[in-house]
Structure 1
Amino acid sequence: MLRAAALVTLASLALSACSDDGGGRASATAAIVSGVGTLPQTSEDATSTAAPTSTGEAAGTSASATEDEATSAVDPSGASGPKFDIGETPDAGPPPPPKACLKVDLLFVVDNSASMKNEQDNLVASFPGFVQEIQQQLEDAESLHIGVVATDKYDGNESPCGVLGGLITRTSGSNSSKATCGPYVSGQRYMTEQDDLASKFACAAQVGTAGDSNEKPLQAALRALGPELGQPGQCNEGFVREDALLVLVVITDEEEDGSSGDPPDWFNELVALKGGVETNIVTLALIGPENPECASAAEVAYRIVEFAEMFTYGSIGQICADSFQPFFHDAIAVIDQACENFVPPG
């Protein structure tokens, strides 16, 4: 505004100097106006050259509107400070994939025939290290279910669960723990990570040696995992979970001649129980080996070998080994791989 006033003053002086010559006055005025047009504009100049208004009141209204628009451009709420248009929130990308298997169901099928005392002792001694390695290796796993069944109708269990495939909570007979192993923390007939697993498993796994010599390990497993005993109010309620990795551990020193059907039948039935996803099952078999590396009086369990080898994740060990710990240690890698590749239901 100061610059504009000075220019007007200069123009007046020039007109006065040229008052005796109308043409000269006009030329001088044109020159001054032309010179003003070439001057750079400041923000104040830009404001002063805004469109003219007919009255002072209108001009005031226009200025007020301009101020309001400026304020609105900063923040519609009228708050001070600049407002930046940063666009939409950047896409964080797809959510991370779900963890592999968060749950693991372990079923131990323990031969309770007359020749199995040493093998049951070996199992009990090897179990704590096995379950500890499972918990360490499968650090994402949030829940374990652990159950034990015998290879025949087990009389140690209370009625009505003294049946083939009934999860063991009480033992009786020669060389058994002769104890009531429950109640388990779950309130059901299976153990969880909340239990003192070393002592609870030792109680349940010492099923004794008073069982039938016509062992039925695969039939016992299929019944234990099947829908009949898993119904609400039945002996194995809640043990099997659709969204859990299943680890089946079979321990016997006899050939599998007692169960009905053949290895392909057992395979198909077990896979069907896990929703048709074979890789969601791990089979571990401690049996009479074909080529024993230890002195063994066990029968070679050809049919169990055939069954176990049908699975992607299967492992076979020697029941005559001095300790089962090396076998269980090696099996952890098999379980871990199956867990990484677990296929959630649905």
Structure 2
Amino acid sequence: MASVTPPLSTTGRPIVTLTINPALDISTSTPRVIKDHKLRCGPSRIDPGGGGVNVARTIHKLGGDALAIYAAGGLTGATYQQLLETEGVPSLAVPIAGTTRESFTVDENDSGQQFRFVLQGPEFREAEWQRCLATLEAAIIPGGYVVASGSLPPGVPTDFYAQVARLAHQKGARSIIDTSGEALKDALAEGVYLVKPSLRELSELVGRELTTEQSEVDAAAELVARGSAQLVALTLGEAGAVLASASGVIRLPVPTVRVQSAVGAGDAFLGAFVWRLSQGQDPETAFRSAVAAGSATAAKPATEMCALAEVETLEKLLPVATRF
């Protein structure tokens, strides 16, 4: 297979993202969600979604460069590819026999609640997920970053992200993994540079309930002490975020915004984080940008990602981080 070179930014180290289970995100709204009723919806919107792709979309919106590698198949896969190319995000589609999945989000206007329906994705053959790994391997540049994010579709082994981390290590790049369940545990057993668990995921990883601020801090620090990850970014929604490293643990609140959609906010957090790291910023500075980007994206509709000016505005509103 020919080598694929990520776009080289004049301001940072190369970033490659991998999304093996992307989704065509369809978003709409209705006054109320009522069972057994035919629900009349407002205007709909379609975005190319999925963890790693959203990370690359964020980096592109912020003015950085990242190559988004993703699996795609069927008519939805062709639509997905067209949408991503229209946005101008450097990308490479790995063809599969199955059809790219869809995700459906409905905003209930009367209550302000959001309902999200996420399909599992197509069945993968071994040759297909192996092709995704081979494509990624050809694109990794020593000294760069590899971001693998999202759920695993049927047919893909739980150690897939562990294999991604191993490839990154072998080629002298830093691996960043954002997933859940056994796939996350396997990746951390391999060891990664950065991981972004939710509170529930962190609780599962350390094997205990995390009910206090100190317990959250201790659990994040524990993953670093174990050697599972050099950086642990614990995202807590409205309660803020925690960053643990060998230098210690810090916590930031989130700025106040009018939330329109939670879809993609975590991916924007990760995208801004790795973008700042690739520029040579220290983890604490990158963490501030990540918190601001997650909030800025939550204030956007559907799966629209944040812009640089919005992130910079919210960064200025953040206080000095609390140290533990």
The TM-score range, normalised by the shorter chain, is 0.3 to 0.5
Q: TM-score, normalised by structure 1?
A: 0.35
